[in-house]
Every structure is written in C-alpha cells, then in structure tokens.
Amino acid sequence: MKILAIESSCDETAAAVVENGRSVLSNVIASQVEQHIIYGGVVPEIASRLHAEAISGVVDTALKQAGVTLEEIDAVAVTFAPGLIGALLVGVNFAKGLALGAGKPLIPVHHLRGHIAANYITFPDLKPPFLCLVVSGGHSHIVAVEDYTDFKIIGKTRDDAAGECLDKAARTMGLNYPGGLNLDKLAVGGNATAFSFPRPKVDGAPFDFSFSGLKTNVINLIHNAAQKGIELNQKDLGASFINAVTNLLCENTLAAAKEYGYKKIVLAGGVSANSVLRKKMDEGAKLNGYEIYYPELKYCGDNAAMIGAQAYYEYQKGNTAGYDLNAVATMPIDDVRYE
C-alpha cells in the first residue's frame, strides 16, 4: 500500500510516499529555518504563509522522486493535530483537495503518533508493545505503546516541554534558532558539572516532568551574570544545562520502564537527536538490560515519512476521515478524535 503523506504542523513543509508503513520511497522537506532565524523562533503567521507557498511543489516533488503518479497512490495522509493551527490548516486543506480530486481515502494522523512511527522506518522489525519517550519542542511524554494505534500516557510535562526549555536557554545564551540543535553542538567537550541546576519533581506523579523552573533558573543565571559583568563559559554552561535536562528525561523514563515491566524503550521527537540524551539512554538501557531504539537523525525532526508510516496502521485500524476533516491545535495522543 502506497501512501502520500503531508506534514505541516510547524515550520517544515513536508511530503513523502511510504509503502506498507516501513519503506520510504521519497521524503521531501522544505525548511523555513532561515526565515525564522531573525525572530529567534517560529512566527506562526509567517509559517502558514510559507507552507501555502511551498506545499504544491513539495508534494509534486515527492511523487516524482517516488516514481509514482497520484493515480497510483492508494491513500492520502495528513497531520491534522496537534500543532500551529494555521500551519495545520494548510496541510489539511491541501490533503483534502488531493484526496477528493483523486478519489482516495483520507487518513488523519496525530503528529506525536507519527514521531513514534519514525522508528518503524529505522527498525523494520520493531513492533509494539514498548515504552516511548516522546520529547520535542512542544511535547515531553512517556507513552506506553500497546499497539500501533493504542497509546497510554504514563508521564508528561506539567508545564514547559524539554525542547522548549533547551531552546529558551540557547536563545538567552545568544545562539541562533534552532536553539536546541545549536546548544547541543556548542556543548560538545564542555564540563557538564561546572554549573548546578535544580532537579524538579512532581509530588504524587513520579513519571511527570516539570521544566519551567529549570528554564527560569538558567535564564536568571545568565541575566545576573551579565548585570554583574561576569563572563560565563558558554561551553560549560551548555553542557551543564543539557546534563540537567537529560538527567530528568532519562531518570523518569527508566523508572517508568521498571515500574511497568517494559524491556523495550523507544525515543522519538526532535530532542531524540540530542547526543547527550542518546548516550545516557544507551548507558541506562545497557545497565538495566533494556533494548533501546531511536530514529535516524533525518527522521527525528518533523517529516512526512513518519506520518506515512503511522498512516498505514491507522488505515488498517479503519481510522479514516471524511472531507470535512478539520485541523486541531491540541489533542492528546491517547484520545484521538476525527470530528
């Protein structure tokens, strides 16, 4: 089954053709990073306009690279939630037009489910059940993946996402967008114990996260040093802050795996590309006898291949939508609704 997938939830206009949920025939991404750098982050209105400009060409290129025509496609899939509402609407409306015009089924895909499915591309033999840490600029979840379309949230952030926390720290340090990626590069070789940061816990919810205090702490540290004319070692500061964030992510995930008896741990989302997080999860998995999986770096960020992968399993489950499908800005991964 060949699925044409479209992703436009944030600042990447993407289209891909994926066969049977595991084989990527094409994966095309039009990045908006250069346009958003001057603002230090994504501007929703600009993102929406750029999606509208790029989407037709991106989809056309994806079909050509896959060597198929729209008539040879079996279904059209699209990210419909969650994300920036204006950006989502561009993709959803374009996908509805394609599906309607070509007479193809329309498959709505939850963005976070797509991130998890990126691992099915990297690891063709990977199957649920497993425990997944989904960590990105807007989300930090520990999810029990019981089946391809059966998810249960074990833990989640109570405030900021880990990716946002890293991005804000990077921005305050003067690094360009995307902050988390540039912070990871800067911190290589830095002293991860040079600066001390709090280790917030959520009372009564041992697997939940809280990153807002950590974010405030590093911002105040940087501002106070600047006011006093103190020059901070950027490399050490970056390494120490990444160490604090990744410690929280790893500790909660490994504890959840032990509590719920999972032997397979999967990482997903943009922050799963972080080199320190990967190293710590590797070490934790080895120490506890867990299998560990994370996507190829090119599938960690937003892309349409992951949407096509998840769409295959949504279709098998009968999760298709009518042409009245709408975009939704917020929606939990374990309670997906298409109306």
In which band, very low, low, confident or very high, does the pLDDT at 38 lie, cut at 50, 70 and 90?
confident
In which band, very low, low, confident or very high, does the pLDDT at 2 lie, cut at 50, 70 and 90?
very high
**DSSP letter string, 234-247:** HHHHHHHHHHHHHH
In which band, very low, low, confident or very high, does the pLDDT at 337 lie, cut at 50, 70 and 90?
confident
In which band, very low, low, confident or very high, does the pLDDT at 137 lie, cut at 50, 70 and 90?
confident
The better pLDDT of the pair 232, 39 is held by 232
In which band, very low, low, confident or very high, does the pLDDT at 5 lie, cut at 50, 70 and 90?
very high
In 3D space, the residue among 339, 130, 166 whose CA is nearest the CA of residue 248 turns out to be: 166
Global confidence as pTM: 0.96
Q: Please give the CATH superfamily to which domain 2-116+301-316 belongs.
A: ATPase, nucleotide binding domain (3.30.420.40)
Q: CA-CA distances (angstroms) from residue 326 to 81, 90, 94?
A: 9, 11, 12
Q: What is the mean pLDDT of the chain?
A: 96
Backbone conformation region of residue 247, classed left if phi is above 0, alpha if psi is from -120 to 50, else beta: alpha
pLDDT digits (tens, 9 = 90+) for 42-53: 999 999 999 999
Q: Kindly state the tokens that stand for 162.
A: 């880990």
Q: Which residues pair with residue 133 across a beta bridge?
A: 142, 267
Predicted pLDDT of residue 338: 80
b/e per residue 10-37 (b: at least 16 CB within 10 A)? bbbbbbbbbbebbebbbbbbbbbeeebe
Q: Please give the CATH superfamily to which domain 125-298 belongs.
A: ATPase, nucleotide binding domain (3.30.420.40)
Average pLDDT over residues 171-182: 93
Residue pair 234/186 in contact by the 8 Å Cβ criterion: yes
Predicted pLDDT of residue 40: 85
Extents of the domains making up the chain: 2-116+301-316, 125-298
Amino acid at 258: K
Counting residues of the chain whose pLDDT is more than 70, the rounded percentage is 100
Average pLDDT over residues 283-303: 97
CB neighbours (10 Å) of residue 193? 10
Helical spans, DSSP H, in 141-274: 162-172, 179-187, 212-227, 234-260
pLDDT digits (tens, 9 = 90+) for 179-208: 999 999 999 999 999 999 999 999 999 999
In which band, very low, low, confident or very high, does the pLDDT at 339 lie, cut at 50, 70 and 90?
low
One fold for both 2-116+301-316 and 125-298?
Answer: yes
Helical spans, DSSP H, in 174-211: 179-187
In sequence order, the 6+-apart residues with CB closer than 8 A to the CB of 335 are: none
